[in-house]
Amino acid sequence: MDVENAVLELCSLPAQVLWSFVCVYRTTCRSPPGGGSTLLLDNEEEETRKYAEPLIGSDCRQGSTSEMADLWQNAMDHAVALARRAGEVVREALQDDRKVMTKSCSVDLVTQTDQKVEQLIIQSVKEKFPTHSFIGEESVAAGEACVLTDCPTWIVDPIDGTTNFVHAFPFVAVSIGFSVNRQMEFAVVYSCLEDKMYTARRGKGAFCNGEPLQVSGQEDIKQSIISTEFGSSRDPEAVEKIFLSLRSILCIPVHGVRGAGTAAINMCHVASGCVEAYYEVGIHVWDVAAGSLLVSEAGGVLMDVDGGAADLMSRRIVAANSRTIAERLVSEIHSFSPLRDDATP
């Protein structure tokens, strides 16, 4: 059962009874050693107690239930602080020469700053939340598995927009998504050169620097801006499909096609309402995990490029202000299927 729903259902019980339930739940829901999902973990004890305690002497039915049930606020606060620190490192690195290396091909770039920022984030999270899992762009590039389990998982792109960073093109983001039971719980995208901190918490809305975000209300694709990227694949078949899609969409016609050079910021633009939709084939889970929650919490929809359910591991995404715009886009996209992020080698 969902932890938060369980707590909500029990909110009419006296505080002492509730705390007993929490202790029993903690004991009974642990995974067997070495496998399975973990619902409540040692380091969440503090959070659990924090949100149970306000019940004492108060009637939870009068308003504090959502706060009480938010078990992950402490982790989210930590993610925001880490993203801000990572952003400082990125800004400082822009003052220096950037040594550029390549990964899958000559236009898939990485710098020492990508690696340094990912290490900074992962080390800090490991100290504070030692039982949590990670999927990090540079860790996967170094050979770690890219598998999403039910465990609390930090999905980290230390620099989304590395090509922009290398060229000092001013859209660079630190992207941190957090999932539990394979569902996004919170999202932090820090656009560090604009100093914009985008945050979202499941069921509680999306924000930029604390201001609530709302997707555009535009339902006519001919009055819309669509964003996408060319990505890093130069495989002729993929490039052909990318151009066919772009041509079809441009000639609907739409008001314009844009691309910030980072999937995370493109999705923040959808959440903010200045772009109606973003689509791309070839992205990775770390590019879109946080952005997906920002879009849905701002009132938008997520979809596969063929119109099915969005799948963060599939390397295909449509993120739109509405189902109408998403489905219209899908009808113009020439889709293809890159190797999934969780494909077994």
Ligand X SMILES: Nc1ncnc2c1ncn2[C@@H]1O[C@H](CO)[C@@H](O)[C@H]1OP(=O)(O)O
Catalytic-residue membership of 67: no
Q: In the stretch 130-169, what mask flags binding to ligand X with x, by CB under 6 A?
A: -------x-------------------x--xxxx------
In angstroms, rounded to a whole number, what is the distance separating the alpha carbons of residues 53 and 161? 42
SS3 208: strand
| 73 binding partner (options Mg ion, ligand X, none; Cβ < 5 to 8 Å by kind) | none
Q: How far are the Cα atoms of 131, 161, 213 from residue 318, in angstroms, in the given order? A: 32, 19, 19
We find the least distance from the C-beta atom of residue 275 to ligand X, in angstroms, to be 15
Assess 311 for contact with ligand X (CB under 6 A).
Answer: no
Catalytic-residue membership of 185: no
Task: Choose which of 287, 297, 304, 332 interacts with Mg ion (CB under 5 A).
Answer: 287
Point out the catalytic residue in the list 38, 162, 228, 262: 162
Point out the catalytic residue in the list 157, 185, 229, 280: 157
- The DSSP code sequence of 83-134 is HHHHHHHHHHHTTS---EEESSSTTSEEEHHHHHHHHHHHHHHHHHSTT-EE
In angstroms, rounded to a whole number, what is the distance separating the alpha carbons of residues 303 and 321? 11
| 232 binding partner (options Mg ion, ligand X, none; Cβ < 5 to 8 Å by kind) | ligand X
We find the least distance from the C-beta atom of residue 110 to Mg ion, in angstroms, to be 11
Q: Which stretch binds ligand X (CB under 6 A): 22-30, 92-100, 224-232, 316-324?
A: 224-232
Task: Choose which of 70, 160, 280, 332 interacts with Mg ion (CB under 5 A).
Answer: 160
287 a known binding residue? Answer: yes
In angstroms, rounded to a whole number, what is the distance separating the alpha carbons of residues 282 and 305? 11
At position 306, the amino acid (one-letter code) is D
176 a known binding residue? Answer: no
The residue assigned the tokens 């997707």 is 215
What b/e readout covers 118-146, taking b as 16+ CB neighbours within 10 angstroms?
beebbebbeeebeebbbbbbbbbbeeeeb
Q: In the stretch 106-135, what mask flags binding to ligand X with x, by CB under 6 A?
A: -xx---------------------------
Catalytic-residue membership of 131: no
150 a known binding residue? Answer: no
- Binding residues (CB under 6 A) for ligand X: these are 107-108, 137, 157, 160-163, 229, 231-232, 261-263, 280, 283, 287
- Binding residues (CB under 5 A) for Mg ion: these are 157, 160, 287
Which residues are known catalytic residues? 137, 157, 159-160, 162, 287
